[in-house]
């Protein structure tokens, strides 16, 4: 039933089905698992005379609703007086100009929001608004689901749809197998009851119980997939690469710096894995600038000294060039032959012939590495930098280039740390090496959050100072072009504006819709100091090393996740100069806790833990899988639930024949396996 198209549902005709498909709902399961993001509890509504500071819900009528615009163009402020038979109260909404039309005089609405002191007076700040009628699902129980908008589908549209689906939930089959360690709440009909209560809860307790089961189900699938992946990897054969003590001493002697203890430990963990007859599947995580590349180089040198080839896959041509140059400086003097293979490489045919004959030891490249006509003689180790930039199929194409009958060892690198609490639970089956220490001489980046109104007085003078010193600037914007529906400033508009402010600076823009060659050309110009200010979207989140870039400005910073902001900040602070990160917020609200944490810490591992607590449900593999694997329901911080799911999943992994009886679960697990494996 859940795998059926949405047209099997009552009230969903061809027209509605098309709207749902555009929003990503193709099956009944897609729609039924789209849970409310929260619930409005109108059972707790109070009279206005009883309102106290804090979170409040009231039922009131409206008068004098009007919108005016603030100092910044497109910044709308909507104000209204709300009243009942006891008193009146002022409400204000920022950048929600449609509220003035929505708030019809004479009608009753429920308002829910924070009542707080603002600009010298108490007011209800940006409350949610719902018409107090039975037709709007409020009148039945006073407990209403609130859905997030998706494409053309607004919260009210979801409520109207689900109103007609109630009988359909009785047809939902159970999903999870029963084993020795199955929790008591995973009982017969638990799934249909949980989904029903998630959409039609009558109180907080019902909603919480529903989410607990559905979160558990999601975690169970993910953990079981990881365990089955581990089992499958252990069945494969790989070339044993013995530890070569002389090779390691030669490399360490040639370096102009001393490895940190963390780098030494990570290198040793990798070398031990390379000596096993099963393929290594290790993730090397380290904060921005922690020195992951030299660890990868030491690992590659071990393989090369044993007569094998190594491939390093980079997400962009500019980064591939940078890696090739860096590795050539490290390993070239020791006799390692390095080849660079990108779309722009000249004499490609000859280079590919040399690779196939085994005359190139280490091949650094982009997608050109995984084309069918790129063949290796004896590839034994693959290194993938920022591997979330590559799809599952692309990674697997590279891994299939090893000699027949053998799988290559795989080392994936990421600068997006996985919180320790996740490593110990969900990621317990993934081998992870961590570099926490930064190399000596790195100065912490000074970070400051400020309101966009203060840019002229506080930000522009600082940028001028950096430009006068000959430094370069990253300027990050959320959108490529302006749109009436978007309140954030675009890359193109910001670049145009900056040209009028910093008239002598060379300013260019960069975004993801540009052709790869065009993007590479802009980044290369920036790396060569031919651009002073680079205005860009987050396409530079993983980019080249530009030691001369000393400041990054992130517009509308409140719209980014903590991990992404930290990644963006890592674009600067790569040279000997003091570097700065400016987080610019829109509107009148003070900086969020997320931005304050970023102001106070440059430790990516600490920030990853904070991010975990702040965001709750979200991407469990972070950026690792390019957003393909998102937790929709489960909370990262619920280690108690994760521990139960691990025990239950272990039972099934030991007896995989159980899966034969659960076809829907098997299908779901296979999808998770594809997404969660690093190889």
Give the model's pLDDT for residue 346.
Answer: 87
Give the model's pLDDT for residue 115.
Answer: 92
Give the model's pLDDT for residue 623.
Answer: 36
Angle at 436 between CA 243 and CA 579, to 5 degrees: 125
The pLDDT-based confidence of 225 (bands split at 50, 70, 90) is confident
442-457 pLDDT tens trace: 778 999 999 888 899 9
Give the model's pLDDT for residue 593.
Answer: 85
Q: What mean pLDDT is predicted for residues 560-565? A: 84
**% of the chain at pLDDT higher than 90:** 43
Q: What mean pLDDT is predicted for residues 60-77? A: 81
Give the model's pLDDT for residue 636.
Answer: 62
Question: 580 or 586: whose pLDDT is higher?
Answer: 580
Give the model's pLDDT for residue 615.
Answer: 63
197-207 pLDDT tens trace: 999 998 889 99
> Which whole-number Å values give the CA distances from 409 to 34, 238, 271, 300, 403, in the listed order?
39, 7, 11, 11, 12
Whether residue 634 contacts residue 220, with contact meaning beta carbons closer than 8 Å, is answered with no
- Say whether pLDDT at 87 is over 90: yes
Bridge partners (DSSP) of residue 153 are 150
Print the SS3 string covering 77-106: EEEEEEECCCCEEEEEEECCCCHHHHCCCC
454-457 contacts: CB < 8 A, separation 24 or more?
Answer: 455/584
> Which whole-number Å values give the CA distances from 562 to 267, 375, 387, 492, 602, in the listed order?
29, 41, 20, 25, 11
Whether residue 160 contacts residue 52, with contact meaning beta carbons closer than 8 Å, is answered with no
Q: Find all residues with CB under 8 Å of 279, minimum gap 6, and list them.
A: 233, 236, 237, 238, 407, 408, 409, 410, 679
Give the model's pLDDT for residue 678.
Answer: 52
Q: How far apart are CA 525 and CA 531, in angstroms?
A: 6
> Which whole-number Å values give the CA distances from 631 to 200, 417, 517, 620, 635, in the listed order?
22, 17, 35, 6, 8
Of the listed ranges 283-297, 355-369, 565-579, 618-632, the one predicted with least confidence = 618-632
Q: DSSP string of 358-416?
A: T--SEEEESGGGGSTT---SSEEEEEEETGGGS-HHHHHHHHTTSPTT---EEEEEESS
Give the model's pLDDT for residue 482.
Answer: 64
> How many residues are present in the chain?
679
- Say whether pLDDT at 359 is over 70: yes
In 10 A of CB 79, how many CB atoms? 16
- Say whether pLDDT at 306 is over 60: yes
Q: Is 598 helix (H, G, I), strand (E, B) or coil?
A: helix
Of the listed ranges 33-47, 288-302, 556-570, 620-634, the one predicted with least confidence = 620-634
Q: DSSP string of 539-560?
A: GGSS----TTEEEEEETTGGGS
Record the pTM. Answer: 0.69
Maximum average pLDDT range among 51-60, 410-419, 620-629, 665-674: 51-60
Question: 311 or 425: whose pLDDT is higher?
Answer: 311
Give the model's pLDDT for residue 486.
Answer: 54
Whether residue 581 contacts residue 554, with contact meaning beta carbons closer than 8 Å, is answered with yes
Q: Find all residues with CB under 8 Å of 310, minimum gap 6, and list them.
A: 300, 303, 304, 361, 362, 363, 379, 380, 381, 382, 383
Whether residue 317 contacts residue 344, with contact meaning beta carbons closer than 8 Å, is answered with yes
Give the model's pLDDT for residue 137.
Answer: 47
Q: How far apart are CA 460 and CA 553, in angstroms?
A: 11
Whether residue 600 contacts residue 574, with contact meaning beta carbons closer than 8 Å, is answered with no
The pLDDT-based confidence of 378 (bands split at 50, 70, 90) is very high
Bridge partners (DSSP) of residue 82 are 62, 89
Structural domains in the chain plus CATH codes: 1-37+147-170 (1.10.150), 45-146 (2.40.50.140), 245-435 (3.40.50.300), 446-601 (3.40.50.300)
- Say whether pLDDT at 135 is over 80: no
Give the model's pLDDT for residue 298.
Answer: 96
Q: How far apart are CA 302 and CA 400, in angstroms?
A: 21
Give the model's pLDDT for residue 628.
Answer: 39
The pLDDT-based confidence of 631 (bands split at 50, 70, 90) is low
Question: 369 or 541: whose pLDDT is higher?
Answer: 369
Of the listed ranges 393-397, 561-565, 674-678, the one predicted with least confidence = 674-678
Question: 636 or 679: whose pLDDT is higher?
Answer: 636
- Say whether pLDDT at 481 is over 80: no
Give the model's pLDDT for residue 185.
Answer: 92
Give the model's pLDDT for residue 404.
Answer: 75
Q: Find all residues with CB under 8 Å of 319, minimum gap 6, and list them.
A: 385, 542, 543, 544
Give the model's pLDDT for residue 614.
Answer: 73
**% of the chain at pLDDT higher than 70:** 89
Radius of gyration from C-alpha coordinates of the chain = 28
314-334 pLDDT tens trace: 888 888 888 998 899 999 999
Q: How far apart are CA 356 and CA 375, in angstroms?
A: 5
600-625 pLDDT tens trace: 988 888 887 787 777 654 444 443 33
Q: What mean pLDDT is predicted for residues 463-467? A: 96
- Say whether pLDDT at 138 is over 60: no
Of the listed ranges 56-70, 325-339, 470-484, the one predicted with least confidence = 470-484
Give the model's pLDDT for residue 402.
Answer: 77
């Amino acid at each position: 039933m859940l795998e059926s198209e949405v047209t099997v549902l009552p009230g969903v005709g061809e027209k509605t089905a098309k709207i749902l498909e555009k929003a990503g709902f193709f099956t009944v399961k897609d729609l039924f698992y789209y849970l409310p993001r929260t619930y409005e509890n109108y059972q707790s509504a109070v009279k206005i005379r009883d309102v106290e500071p804090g979170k409040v819900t009231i039922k009131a009528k409206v008068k004098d609703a009007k919108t005016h615009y603030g100092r910044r163009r497109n910044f709308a402020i909507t104000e209204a007086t709300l009243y009942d038979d006891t008193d009146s109260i002022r409400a204000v909404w920022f950048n929600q100009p449609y509220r003035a039309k929505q708030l019809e005089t004479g009608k009753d609405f429920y308002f829910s929001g924070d009542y707080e002191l603002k600009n010298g007076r108490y007011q209800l700040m940006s409350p949610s608004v719902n018409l107090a009628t039975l037709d709007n699902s409020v009148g039945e129980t006073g407990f209403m689901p609130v859905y997030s908008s998706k494409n053309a589908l607004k919260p009210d549209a979801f409520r109207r749809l689900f109103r007609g689906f109630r009988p359909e939930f009785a047809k939902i089959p159970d999903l999870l197998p029963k084993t020795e360690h199955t929790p008591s709440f995973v009982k017969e009909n638990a799934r249909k009851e949980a989904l029903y209560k998630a959409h039609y809860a009558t109180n907080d307790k019902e909603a919480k119980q529903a989410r607990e089961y559905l979160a558990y189900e999601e975690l169970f699938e993910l953990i079981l997939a990881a365990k089955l992946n581990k089992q499958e990897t252990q069945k494969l054969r790989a070339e044993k690469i013995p530890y070569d003590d002389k090779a390691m001493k030669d490399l360490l002697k040639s370096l102009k710096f001393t490895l940190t203890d963390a780098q030494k430990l990570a290198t040793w963990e990798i070398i031990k894995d390379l000596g096993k007859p099963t393929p290594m599947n290790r993730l090397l995580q380290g904060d921005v600038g922690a020195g992951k590349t030299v660890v990868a180089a030491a690992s590659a040198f071990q393989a090369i000294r044993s007569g094998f080839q190594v491939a390093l896959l980079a997400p962009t041509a500019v980064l591939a060039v940078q890696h090739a140059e860096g590795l050539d400086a490290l390993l070239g003097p020791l006799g390692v032959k390095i080849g660079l293979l990108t779309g722009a490489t000249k004499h490609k045919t000859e280079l590919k012939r040399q690779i196939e004959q085994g005359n190139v030891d280490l091949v650094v490249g982009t997608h050109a590495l995984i084309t069918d006509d790129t063949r290796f003689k004896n590839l034994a180790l693959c290194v993938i930098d920022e591997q979330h930039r590559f799809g599952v199929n692309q990674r697997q194409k590279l891994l299939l280039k090893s000699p027949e009958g053998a799988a290559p060892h795989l080392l994936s690198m990421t600068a997006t740390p996985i919180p320790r609490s996740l490593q110990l639970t969900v990621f317990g089956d993934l081998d992870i090496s961590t570099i926490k220490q930064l190399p000596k001489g790195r100065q912490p980046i000074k970070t400051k959050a400020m309101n966009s109104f203060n840019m002229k007085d506080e930000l522009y003078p600082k940028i001028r100072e950096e430009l006068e010193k000959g430094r370069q600037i990253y300027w990050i914007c959320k959108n490529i072009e302006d749109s009436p529906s978007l309140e954030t400033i675009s890359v193109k508009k910001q670049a145009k504006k900056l040209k009028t402010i910093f008239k002598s600076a060379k300013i260019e823009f960069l975004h993801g819709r540009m052709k790869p060659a065009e993007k590479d050309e802009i980044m290369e110009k920036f790396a060569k100091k031919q651009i002073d200010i680079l205005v860009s979207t987050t396409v530079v989140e993983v980019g080249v090393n530009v030691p001369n870039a000393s400041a990054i400005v992130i517009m509308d910073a409140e719209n980014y996740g903590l991990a992404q902001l930290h990644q963006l900040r890592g674009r600067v602070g790569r040279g000997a100069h003091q570097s700065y990160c400016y987080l610019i917020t829109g509107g009148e609200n003070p900086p969020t806790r997320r931005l304050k944490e970023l102001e106070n810490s440059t430790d990516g591992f600490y920030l990853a833990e904070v991010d975990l607590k702040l965001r709750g449900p979200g991407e469990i593999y972070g950026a690792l899988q390019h957003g393909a694997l998102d937790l929709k329901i489960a909370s990262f911080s619920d280690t108690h639930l994760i521990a139960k799911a691990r025990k239950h999943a272990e039972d099934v992994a030991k007896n995989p024949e159980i899966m034969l009886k659960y076809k829907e679960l098997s299908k779901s697990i296979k999808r998770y396996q594809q997404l969660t494996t690093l190889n």
